[in-house]
Amino acid sequence: HVLTGTDRSLGISCSASDGVGLIAAAADLRIGVDVQRHRDDEARQAWDEGWLAAAEQRALARLPVADRLPAVTRSWTQKEAVLKGRGVGLHVAPDTVVVPGTPTGRSGAWWLAPVPVPAGYAATLAVESATPLTDLPVLQLTPGGSR
């Protein structure tokens, strides 16, 4: 979502999955963020649901078997982060957003970067920008405060 002030805007996006939540904010940028807990059975099902573009399926099929299903989950977070950043969410078919499948890269005008999350999760920040993402500041919050 974008909140507009007098001369600046604030891009905000949030996501949560099984106890892990993310909030991203940036001045004067469109951003999206997504986190997903990885489950092999859900990744297998997602492979068959048609939300991966043909080029993405071919690229993922070339990965070592042990890396494929986690890469499917990562690709999903990349797609959702871009769609959230565009402000359309899943009202647009995910297969229309082609992502690199690698941890960092581009999808159209959007730079993608992984967000540090606990093992067993994948998370992506998408920023609409002409320049690549560098220095991703992360503040971890716990029920007892930040760390």
Say if CB 102 and CB 96 are below 8 A apart: no
What is the bridge-based pairing of β-strands 110-114 and 105-107?
Answer: antiparallel
Tokens found for residue 110: 């959007």
Of 3.90.470.20, 3.30.200.20, 3.30.1320.10, 3.40.50.970, the CATH number of 2-129 is 3.90.470.20
Buried b vs exposed e over 61-85: b needs ≥16 C-beta within 10 Å? eeeeeeebbebbbbbbbbbbbbbbb
pLDDT-above-90 percentage for the chain = 54
Kindly list the domain boundaries of the chain, sorted by start residue.
2-129
pLDDT score, position 99: 92
Tokens found for residue 6: 């007098």
Q: What's the rounded Cα separation, in Å, for the pair 26 and 147?
A: 21
How crowded is residue 42: how many other Cβ atoms within 10 Å of its Cβ?
15
Residue 95: what residue type? D
**Residue range 57-79, pLDDT digits in tens:** 999 999 999 999 999 999 999 99
Radius of gyration, alpha carbons of the chain = 15
Say if residue 47's pLDDT is above 90.
no
Predicted TM-score of the model (pTM): 0.85
pLDDT score, position 134: 73
Say if residue 3's pLDDT is above 80.
no
Q: State the chain's mean pLDDT as an integer.
A: 86
Average pLDDT over residues 89-95: 77
